[in-house]
Amino acid sequence: MRIVLTGGGTGGHIFPILAVARELKKQLGEKEDLELLFLGPEGKLEKRVMEKELIPIKNIISGKFRRYFSLQNFLDALKLPVGIVQSLWHLLVFMPDAVFAKGGYASVPVALAAWLYRIPIVIHESDAMPGMANQILSKIAKRVAVSFSGSENFFSEKKVVLSGNPIRDEIAKGNREQAIRTFSLNPEKKTILVIGGSLGARTINTAILNILSQALKQWQIIHLTGEKEYASVVQEAARIGVKAGHDGYHPYPFLLEELPQAFSVADLVISRAGANVITEIAANAKSAILVPIEGSANKHQEQNAFALSQSGAAILLEQSNLGENILLEKIKQIIDDKELNYELTERIKKFYNPKAASVIAEEILKLAKD
């Protein structure tokens, strides 16, 4: 059996694809031969993850549509037909039994090419508010897996399955004692984990730098800055007298294998509100302050954060309110108030379904065998 996996661009797409790939191997690997192929735009993260999993990669061009005026939209519009032609060729050579599309602009050419070949497509929507790509692809997909209850309303009822968001199993298997050694932490101090996403979040990074001196008097911080932001964050921290790796401040551009350890030792997570990181926080049952990107496509991060905030599962802090005093006050409130902390950690658990990857893999295999 042959399955094509497509998506990419950020960890929010790659890691769910990885989780589903592993589950496909688990469910089918012992019964019959399974061949997987990742088909999508070239990227460092995609290459690193897929090569480690021994999943072959074929790259295509994919244009991105922006919801604001940009000359880049015209250039990217020309990439889509090229990406479709490339996908048609790779699919013809590989000829899969099914395609799993994670959504986003990266998966559009592959899914359209698969539809032309009448190859069954399963798509997955991570966010509370579906993105444009998935709303389009849902018309040609056989199954639509969704993460949030309520997202079903945006798709054809007969196609939808509520799966949850698939993440790597190991993300919730960190060990606190090992984490303390890994990150050289003080076991007596509370730890704040700051996650800006694989590409970084300048707004969150700046907010953390603004409170850094005061925060380190009380807590220690593991700060995932994003690769693009790392050098400038370390430089700015040094300018205010905080050296990376000293005095409780531990910045990293990105963590992959060590991320479960970081979660295990965190007493509070400050993060963007992408569906993947929300699921990882929920899997680890951590209290969280969510800072959604303003003006994100379809306002998906704002909708995600709002869904958790309305359920009392996380604290929502808008970018416009990310002032020095407010952020410090919210951190102190959550860490010091044991009852609030407990309520947040208990309520966020319902946003994690440990069987998400299994549900999606089952749907893919059903279609592939038809």
96/37 same-domain check? yes
User: CA 206 to CA 210: how far, in whole Å?
Assistant: 6
| pLDDT at 311 (0 to 100) | 94
How many CA within 13 A on the CB side of residue 235? 5
Q: Is 362 helix (H, G, I), strand (E, B) or coil?
A: helix
Amino acid 28: pLDDT: 84
Average pLDDT over residues 309-324: 91
User: Which tens digit of pLDDT belongs to each residue from 138-157?
Assistant: 999 999 999 988 888 889 99
Task: Report the 3 state secondary structure along 8-53.
Answer: CCCHHHHHHHHHHHHHHHHHHCCCCCCEEEEEECCCHHHHHHHHHC
207 and 111 within one domain: no
75 pLDDT tier (thresholds 50, 70, 90): confident
Residues 158 and 271 placed together within one structural domain of the fold: no
Q: What is the pLDDT of residue 198?
A: 58
Which amino acid, one-letter code, is at 316? L
* Same-domain status, 221 and 107: no
Q: Both 88 and 120 in a single domain?
A: yes
Predicted local distance difference test score (pLDDT) of residue 10: 64
The set of residues, in sequence order, having a beta carbon less than 8 Å from that of 105 and lying 6+ positions away, is: 9, 62, 63, 64, 65, 133
- How many percent of the chain have pLDDT more than 70? 92
Query: Does the pLDDT at position 68 exceed 60?
Result: no
Q: Do 72 and 60 belong to one domain?
A: yes
In this predicted structure, the answer to whether residue 63 has a pLDDT above a threshold of 70 is no
Angle CA(180)–CA(183)–CA(188) in degrees, nearest 5?
40
DSSP H/E element including 327? helix 324-336
Q: pLDDT for 76-101, tens place per residue?
A: 778 889 999 999 999 999 999 999 99
Average pLDDT over residues 64-78: 65
Say yes or no: 179 and 158 in one domain. no
Strands of the sheet containing 35-40, edge to edge, are: 57-59, 35-40, 2-6, 98-101, 121-125, 143-146, 160-162
Predicted structure pTM score: 0.90
In CATH, what number is assigned to the domain containing residue 306?
Answer: 3.40.50.2000
Number of continuous H segments (helices) and E segments (strands) in the chain: 14, 13
Is residue 52 domain-shared with residue 148, that is, in the same domain? yes
Least confident of 40-49, 156-165, 244-253, 343-352: 40-49
Alpha helices (H) along 245-323: 259-265, 275-283, 300-310
Q: Are residues 155 and 90 in the same domain?
A: yes
Q: What's the average model confidence in pLDDT over 110-139?
A: 93
- pLDDT tens readout for residues 329-343: 999 999 999 999 999
- Cβ count within 10 A of residue 58: 18
Same domain, 176 and 114: no
With CA atoms as reference, report the closest residue to 216 among 196, 187, 246: 246
Residues 158 and 225 in one domain: no
What lies within 8 Å, CB to CB, of 156 at 6+ separation is 138, 144
% of the chain surpassing 90 pLDDT: 73
Q: Which of 8-12, 159-163, 326-330 has the lowest average pLDDT?
A: 8-12
Decide if pLDDT at 227 tops 90: no
Which has the higher per-residue pLDDT, 60 or 32? Answer: 60
Q: What is the mean predicted confidence (pLDDT) over 252-274?
A: 95
Q: Quick one: pLDDT band at residue 323, thresholds 50, 70, 90?
A: confident
Q: Retrieve residue 36's tokens.
A: 């997987």
Output the CA torsion sign for 327, 193, 42, 276: negative
- 235 and 158 in one domain? no
Provide the pLDDT for residue 8.
74
| Residue in this structure with the two tokens 């799993």, named with its chain if needed | 100
133: how many CB neighbours lie within 10 A of its CB? Answer: 24
Q: Domain limits at 153? A: 2-165+353-369
Average pLDDT, rounded, for the chain: 91
Within a 10 A sphere around the Cβ of 340, how many other Cβ atoms? 15
Q: How many Cβ atoms from other residues are within 10 Å of residue 227's Cβ? A: 15
pLDDT for 202: 86
> Cβ(197)–Cβ(10) under 8 Å?
yes
- According to DSSP, the β-strands at 57-59 and 98-101 are unpaired
Q: How many domains does the chain contain in total? A: 2
Q: What is the model's pLDDT at position 298?
A: 64
